[in-house]
Amino acid sequence: MRSIIPDAGKPARLDRRTLLRGLAGAGCALALPMLAAAQDDAAPPLPSAPESIEIEARPILHFERGKPDAKRFGQLEFRGGMVLTSPSAGFGGWSGLVMEADGSKLLSISDAGGWLTADLAYQAGRPAGLKNARLGPLLAARGRPLMDKREKDAEGVTLLDGSLANGTLLVSFERLHRIGRFPFRNGEVQAPTGYLPLHPDARRMSANKGIEAVAVLQGGRLKGSVVAFAERFTRGSGYHTGWIWVGGTPTPFYLQDPDGFDITDAASLPNGDLLVLERFFRWTDGVKMRIRRLAASEIAPGARLTGQTLIEADGSFEIDNMEGLAVHRGAGGETVLTLISDDNFNRILQRTLLLQFTLIEERAGSARP
């Protein structure tokens, strides 16, 4: 019998279909009824208009399961986290994240074409719950909800201007590759007002490996420039492909791909350094995550970068399919990183996690290739 488990020597996309097929091929009895019920690329129902939802939060007190006293991990210090669940069928698949400047609110987008807003509650500096949560559909240019998976597959989001009270979002999509400008008004994501021009090379991206990360540089000589990365677009070069919009025109730059991680998000630090979130999955190794830091002074059209690894974690840590990354300032002025995971709407095998870390600024330095 031909194995349906992905080649152990190659990275596999961590999605519901791959997980279920792999478990079935491995002889997992639970996978068979799940496979019978699963529908490839079946989008969960989303409300036709924004609505309030309830979200339950279970605390994550320790990042490394076997070392409950450990707080420092690479260049980050664990602040706390939550496992998030909701009775709403449209809750899940969170692939991009924006935090309000003070960390009081969040906005996330899903690869099923939905958006989520919520107030973030804290206890002793730890994330403790989401309140006043609302879920709604991303819209097409004429105001209708996005229709099919090819339209809906939103993967990255960032604030282009303003705030989560009144601003403009950039949302990146794969399959139908595009980056749209979406006004955010009165607590809701509005219909897009236009799209960024893409580099001609972007047409060569795989449908399901397209623009996964989008950010706006907050400092440095290219302050205000949009940057984006494809999930995996290397063409055998050993480098991931990204683009930077200077004067509105996209130009490629590159990030070294040393060991097969895929890019899932990016966020700018106030000085213009860029944080890049990455994910790795193989059946033999499980899931991993990594965050690299790229120095603002080295980000430029045509640049080939390596960056500095701030943290790398595997299945012995409280991680899942980490896809969203955002940055804000804590109450003491510290730089806080927030991550969210994409559960692929598979509540049996995966979890929606929200994790927060403090960046150890005095030790992080600048990324060097």
- Identify the pLDDT of residue 361: 82
- Identify the pLDDT of residue 43: 61
Classify 47 in phi/psi space as left (phi over 0), alpha (psi -120 to 50) or beta: beta
Tell me whether residue 10 is in a domain: no
pLDDT tier at 284, thresholds 50, 70, 90: confident
Look up the CATH number of the domain holding residue 47: 2.115.10
pLDDT tier at 272, thresholds 50, 70, 90: very high
32-36, 85-89, 142-146, 349-353: the lowest-pLDDT one: 32-36
- Identify the pLDDT of residue 108: 98
Residue from 334, 347, 342, 351 nearest 14 by CA: 342
Tell me whether residue 78 is in a domain: yes
Q: Does residue 9 have a pLDDT over 50? A: no
DSSP secondary structure, 281-343, as one string: EETTTEEEEEEEEE-GGG--TT-EE--EEEEEE-TTBS--SEEEEEEEE-TTS-EEEEEEE--
Tokens of 181: 């400008």
**Contact between residue 74 and residue 310 where contact means Cβ atoms under 8 Å apart:** yes
- Identify the pLDDT of residue 295: 98
**Contact between residue 18 and residue 6 where contact means Cβ atoms under 8 Å apart:** yes
pLDDT tier at 362, thresholds 50, 70, 90: low
Q: Which residues, including other chains, have CB under 8 Å from residue 33's CB and lie 6 or more apart?
A: none
CA distance 190 to 197: 20
Tell me whether residue 5 is in a domain: no
b/e code 7-19 from CB counts within 10 Å (16+ = b): eeeebbbbbbbbb
Q: Does residue 133 have a pLDDT over 80? A: yes
* Burial class, 1, CB count within 10 angstroms (exposed 0-12 / middle 13-18 / buried 19+): exposed
Which H/E stretch holds residue 249? strand 249-256
193-202, 229-238, 292-301, 360-369: the lowest-pLDDT one: 360-369
Q: Which residue has the higher pLDDT, 43 or 11?
A: 43
b/e code 244-263 from CB counts within 10 Å (16+ = b): bbeeeebebbbbbbeebbbb
Tokens of 136: 């709604």
Tell me whether residue 141 is in a domain: yes
The percent of residues in the chain predicted with pLDDT above 70, rounded, is 86
Helix/strand/coil percent split, the chain, to 5: 10, 45, 45
Tell me whether residue 310 is in a domain: yes
4-18, 169-183, 184-198, 209-223: the lowest-pLDDT one: 4-18
The percent of residues in the chain predicted with pLDDT above 90, rounded, is 81
Tell me whether residue 9 is in a domain: no
pLDDT tier at 33, thresholds 50, 70, 90: very low
Residue from 150, 121, 132, 136 nearest 191 by CA: 136
Which H/E stretch holds residue 183? strand 178-185
Give the number of other CB atoms < 10 A from CB of residue 38: 15
For residue 255, list its beta bridge partners.
240, 305
Tell me whether residue 369 is in a domain: no
Average pLDDT over residues 217-243: 97
Average pLDDT over residues 21-35: 37
Tokens of 264: 């899932």
Domain span including residue 57: 16-364
Q: How many domains does the chain have?
A: 1
Average pLDDT over residues 252-279: 97
Residue from 339, 334, 335 nearest 323 by CA: 339
CA distance 313 to 315: 7
Tell me, rounded to whole angstroms, the distance of Cα 8 from its chain centroid: 25
Which H/E stretch holds residue 25? helix 16-25
Tell me whether residue 3 is in a domain: no
Average pLDDT over the chain reads 89
Question: Maximum Cα–Cα distance for the chain, whole Å?
Answer: 59
Going from the C-alpha of 92 to that of each of 115, 135, 288, 338, the distances in angstroms are 10, 10, 20, 17
pLDDT tier at 44, thresholds 50, 70, 90: confident
CA distance 237 to 334: 37
**Contact between residue 127 and residue 111 where contact means Cβ atoms under 8 Å apart:** no
- Identify the pLDDT of residue 5: 32
Q: Does residue 312 have a pLDDT over 80? A: yes
- Identify the pLDDT of residue 193: 97
Average pLDDT over residues 87-92: 96
- Identify the pLDDT of residue 42: 54
Handedness of CA 282, 285, 289, 291 (dihedral sign): negative
* pLDDT (tens digit per residue) in 236-252: 999 999 999 999 999 99
Q: Which residue has the higher pLDDT, 36 or 211?
A: 211
Q: Does residue 348 have a pLDDT over 50? A: yes
